[in-house]
Amino acid sequence: MSDEFESVEKSLQKHLPEHELVEVRRILYGKQLRTLELPEDAVQEATRKDFELAGYGFDAEREEVRSPRVVRVGAIQNKIVIPTDAPVLEQIESLHKRITEIIAVGAKCGVNIICMQEAWTMPFAFCTREKHPWCQFAESAEEGPTTKLLQELAKKYNMVIISPILERDDNHGEILANTAVVISNTGAYLGKSRKNHIPRVGDFNESTYYMEGNTGHRVFQTQFGKIAINICYGRHHPPNWMMYGVNGAEIVFNPSATVGGLSEPMWPIEARNAAIANSYFTCAINRVGTEVFPNEFSSADGKPAHKDFGHFYGSSYVAGPDGSRTPGLSRTRDGLLVAEMDLNLCRQVKDRWGFRMTQRLDMYARELSEAIKPDYVPDVVKEK
Amino acid sequence: MSDEFESVEKSLQKHLPEHELVEVRRILYGKQLRTLELPEDAVQEATRKDFELAGYGFDAEREEVRSPRVVRVGAIQNKIVIPTDAPVLEQIESLHKRITEIIAVGAKCGVNIICMQEAWTMPFAFCTREKHPWCQFAESAEEGPTTKLLQELAKKYNMVIISPILERDDNHGEILANTAVVISNTGAYLGKSRKNHIPRVGDFNESTYYMEGNTGHRVFQTQFGKIAINICYGRHHPPNWMMYGVNGAEIVFNPSATVGGLSEPMWPIEARNAAIANSYFTCAINRVGTEVFPNEFSSADGKPAHKDFGHFYGSSYVAGPDGSRTPGLSRTRDGLLVAEMDLNLCRQVKDRWGFRMTQRLDMYARELSEAIKPDYVPDVVKEK
């Protein structure tokens, strides 16, 4: 891993003269965000547990008619802890332990809503196409051991927890789903939201394991704001982001698992574009490290079979509705990114830019309804 | 203007050590593009006429069943030439002359399709809210003097020309429209496409002058590929970009006029996100310089009235469907950006990523049709 580049932001910070750094930052990252002062015991604990801890604040104007609605969001990125050929229950336990440690630091930092990476209780094994043993990582969204553990933590820390797991749905034919479970800060199970768009790209046809989500674009009203979850590949689909906004989301989480060779130049673009286009905050979370699997597999790219498919580049970040964004977490280390945000900024940006007013949803409802017809003829102008 | 920062790319190039520059570029700009060798007489002419000339190439894989479809696209950004209080016809003439010079260099560079900035025959005077004299810059899309001039150039250079102007529509009540005229390389008038989304932000409520476009999302089949035009503020609306893709566009131009204080951190994100999401090329064009108007105007921001509303930051660029992009043109100078692209890359990326296959348009047609109903109730999950 030591040959992996650590981060763009650190490179700019190190080499650019101060006055150019200010301009480059403004153009690439938007309005300079406040750096959060995080509690000393949290910082020490993160060092002891060997993960990066960083915090930034998005401010909003003071309003006369609403009080500020300041919340702290936590994004966790992490490597798997033990090898992928260890017993399934031990792998799950090792990740439970690791995430419990990181959530505890989040609690010290006053985090109100925390989210883990996609399928966080397991290695991202879908590249193997093997059903055994990976399907055994699936569990009930409503009452699986992972949900139970997090319900305790949620209540203990008064924290909303978003837990993206591989779900086993016993009520519907024991199918699998790629699902984010939302647990209220009271400890109650609040609901679940499934991955709407399933990749067939690179190493993945995830429909080997689960199909397109059927939970639509629901939004969860929590004590700390209205949140939604757009899982991984859904970030490539702007209407997916849009519908969460239409339903009123103020923060949309994008728990992901994606590697450098495939998607890295797209990563800083997509979740941030969604924040801009929909006047809400987005929180892009990617796992980190290289996962080596027991059996070799091929990648349909003419290359020899191999046991890993590349480096998960982390780089988790939070983007604001005003075009600003935090630096990314490291490309190589576990990390917790804490973002403080005044949710009033969402409506303020709506009032300023007016995208919701000018978006002409009626036109798109009409045009899409036409476009999906089997006999649709695109509007193409040709020279006579 | 000398206090304006020139460009992010030049700053990175100057200060980063080579091995870090390679990584930073890869993450921020995607796959390294080929630098085009442009003809020496074109380079000299650009120097003589004091504008930047840059060229990059996007390559695609060779296919067995299709020949490469290599085209060169030109994007022009420019300042106005003479003061805004000069006679209207002189202002138009000065811009006709300037653009004729730049198009001639485009021809030397083998450009097949060229596009100017939004409302290129005039200063971007809509901030003033004055109807006089600015409405006089409007002309017929079909047979105005600008279209006539460009028809000659199109034929002479065998070049498709996209000409975004302020249109006067005599057949529909002499209204104004913000319109891109498309002229075929044969010199024939091919058609027009209007700005679909009209801003009400910052200095602009452009609906003081013209309303939301009624030309839908038409695509123009030219000899050099299928093109479409998403004018300015339409870039903030992902479904707008999407519908051009649904209709088959391979290159979508985004002629714009936008200033640093308003939108600069969004600029590198939006057109590039559209290229990724829709598996086509996008060409983002912004004017450059500061325009000073004869009469002072206020900006509804509590500040004193003034005669300009800020610096148009240029930074025009081209983005590819694979997440790569060219560097931007300068923030301060006139320029011509030449991008060579093999349009076969669009379908290759569609085959690789599958966004068109996985985009579930039927779900969005259904959900949007619901969402626009007056009694729509968003899907919000609450704790019981």
The mean pLDDT of chain B is: 97
DSSP β-bridge partners for residue B256? B286
**CB proximity B12 to A under 8 Å:** yes
Convert A337-371 to b/e letters by CB count within 10 Å (16 or more is b).
bbbbbbbbbbbbbbebbbbeebbbbebbbbbbbeb
> Which residue out of B5, B22, B269 would a mutagenesis test of the A interface target, given it has the greatest number of A Cβ atoms within 10 Å?
B269
**pLDDT value, residue A94:** 98
Among A97, A70, A64, A71, smallest CA distance to A82 is for: A97
- The upper half-sphere exposure of residue B128, i.e. CA atoms within 13 Å in the direction of its Cβ, equals 19
In the residue annotation, B115 being an active-site residue is answered as no
Angle B267-278/B238-246 helices, nearest 10 degrees?
30
Query: What are the C-alpha distances in Å from A130 to residues A139, A204, A232, A289?
Result: 18, 12, 21, 21
Tell me which amino acid residue B258 is.
Answer: T
Among B104, B81, B71, smallest CA distance to B289 is for: B81
Strands of the sheet with A317-319, listed across from one edge = A317-319, A281-286, A251-256, A225-229, A219-222, B380-382
Look at residue B83 and tell me whether its pLDDT is greater than 70: yes
Q: What are phi and psi of A212, to 5 degrees?
A: -55, 135
Other beta carbons within 10 angstroms of residue B300's beta carbon come to 9
**B residues 224-243 lying closer than 8 A (beta carbon) to A:** 226, 233, 236-239, 241-243
**pLDDT value, residue B260:** 84
Tell me which amino acid residue B332 is.
Answer: T
pLDDT tens per residue, range A124-165 = 999 999 999 999 999 999 999 999 999 999 999 999 999 999
**pLDDT value, residue A1:** 42
What is the arithmetic mean of pLDDT over B362-367? 98
Q: d(Cα B240, Cα A239) in Å, to the nearest integer?
A: 11
What is the arithmetic mean of pLDDT over B274-299? 97
**pLDDT value, residue A110:** 98
Beta carbons of B194 and B202 less than 8 angstroms apart: no
The mean pLDDT of chain A is: 97
Look at residue A312 and tell me whether its pLDDT is greater than 60: yes
Look at residue A43 and tell me whether its pLDDT is greater than 50: yes
> Which residue out of A269, A349, A366 would a mutagenesis test of the B interface target, given it has the greatest number of B Cβ atoms within 10 Å?
A269
Q: d(Cα B169, Cα B145) in Å, to the nearest integer?
A: 14
What are the tokens at A139? 């569990």
**pLDDT value, residue B243:** 98
What are the tokens at A198? 């399933």
Among A275, A274, A264, smallest CA distance to A237 is for: A274
Beta carbons of A99 and A334 less than 8 angstroms apart: no
**pLDDT value, residue A260:** 85
Look at residue B318 and tell me whether its pLDDT is greater than 90: yes
pLDDT tens per residue, range B89-139 = 999 999 999 999 999 999 999 999 999 999 999 999 999 999 999 999 999
User: Active-site residues of A: which are they?
Assistant: 118, 195, 232
**B residues 125-164 lying closer than 8 A (beta carbon) to A:** none
Q: d(Cα A202, Cα A209) in Å, to the nearest integer?
A: 16
What are the tokens at B100? 């004729």
Rg (CA), chain A: 21
Say whether A380 and B218 touch across the interface (CB within 8 A): yes
What is the arithmetic mean of pLDDT over B332-353? 98
ipTM: 0.95
pLDDT tens per residue, range A202-226 = 898 999 999 999 999 999 999 999 9
What is the arithmetic mean of pLDDT over B267-289? 98
Q: How far is A50 from chain B, CA to nearest CA, in Å?
A: 25
**pLDDT value, residue A54:** 98
**CB proximity B357 to A under 8 Å:** yes
What percentage of chain A's residues is helix, strand, coil (to nearest 5)? Answer: 35, 25, 40
Interface size, chain A vs chain B, as Cβ–Cβ contacts under 8 Å: 260
Instruction: Give A280-333 as a DSSP string.
Output: SEEEEEE-EEE---SS-B--SSSSPPBS---EEE---EEE-TTS-BPPPPPSSS
**pLDDT value, residue B149:** 98
DSSP β-bridge partners for residue B285? B255
What are the tokens at A116? 């883990």
In the residue annotation, B373 being an active-site residue is answered as no
Look at residue B24 and tell me whether its pLDDT is greater than 90: yes
Structure confidence at residue A4 as a pLDDT band (50, 70, 90) = confident
| Site of tokens 């964004």 | A325
Q: How far is B252 from chain A, CA to nearest CA, in Å?
A: 14
> Which residue out of A15, A19, A221 would a mutagenesis test of the B interface target, given it has the greatest number of B Cβ atoms within 10 Å?
A15
Say whether B182 and A263 touch across the interface (CB within 8 A): no
Instruction: Give the whole-number percent of chain A exceeding pLDDT 70.
Output: 99
**pLDDT value, residue A125:** 98
At A74 the three-state DSSP class reads: strand
How buried is A210 (Cβ within 10 angstroms: 0-12 exposed, 13-18 middle, 19+ buried)?
Answer: buried
The helix (run of H) or strand (run of E) holding residue A266 is none
- Partner-chain residue, chosen from A28, A236, A380, that has the shortest CB–CB distance to B277: A236
**pLDDT value, residue B219:** 98
Structure confidence at residue B67 as a pLDDT band (50, 70, 90) = very high
How buried is B96 (Cβ within 10 angstroms: 0-12 exposed, 13-18 middle, 19+ buried)?
Answer: middle
Q: Which domains does chain A have, with CATH numbers?
A: 35-371 (3.60.110.10)
Beta carbons of A266 and A199 less than 8 angstroms apart: no
Look at residue B231 and tell me whether its pLDDT is greater than 80: yes
What is the arithmetic mean of pLDDT over B264-289? 97
Look at residue B189 and tell me whether its pLDDT is greater than 80: yes
Among B310, B272, B286, smallest CA distance to B231 is for: B286
**CB proximity A368 to B under 8 Å:** yes
User: HEC profile for chain B?
Assistant: CCCCCCCHHHHHHHHCCHHHHHHHHHHHHCCCCEECCCCHHHHHHHHHCCCEEEEEEECCCCCCCCCCCEEEEEEEECCCCCCCCCCHHHHHHHHHHHHHHHHHHHHHCCCCEEECCCCCCCCCHHHHCCCCCHHHHCECCCCCHHHHHHHHHHHHHCCEEEEEEEEEEHHHCCEEEEEEEEECCCCCEEEEEECCCCCEECCEEHHHCECCCCCCCCEEEECCEEEEECCHHHHHCHHHHHHHHHCCCCEEEEEECCEHHHHHHHHHHHHHHHHHHHCCEEEEEECEEECCCCCCECCCCCCCCECCCCEEECCCEEECCCCCECCCCCCCCCEEEEEEEECHHHHHHHHHHCHHHHCCHHHHHHHHHHHCCCCCCCCEEECC
Q: d(Cα A287, Cα A285) in Å, to the nearest integer?
A: 7
**pLDDT value, residue A261:** 82
**pLDDT value, residue A8:** 92
Say whether A221 and B380 touch across the interface (CB within 8 A): yes
In the residue annotation, B118 being an active-site residue is answered as yes
Structure confidence at residue B143 as a pLDDT band (50, 70, 90) = very high
Q: How far is A364 from chain B, CA to nearest CA, in Å?
A: 7
**pLDDT value, residue B1:** 42
Residues of B whose CB is below 8 A from A200: 354, 357-358
What is the arithmetic mean of pLDDT over B281-298? 97
Look at residue B15 and tell me whether its pLDDT is greater than 70: yes
Q: d(Cα A223, Cα A247) in Å, to the nearest integer?
A: 17
Q: d(Cα A237, Cα A255) in Å, to the nearest integer?
A: 15
**pLDDT value, residue B76:** 98
Instruction: Give the whole-number percent of chain B exceeding pLDDT 70.
Output: 99
**pLDDT value, residue B261:** 82
Beta carbons of A179 and A210 less than 8 angstroms apart: no
pLDDT tens per residue, range A187-202 = 999 999 999 999 999 8
**pLDDT value, residue A63:** 98
Other beta carbons within 10 angstroms of residue B94's beta carbon come to 16
**pLDDT value, residue A230:** 98
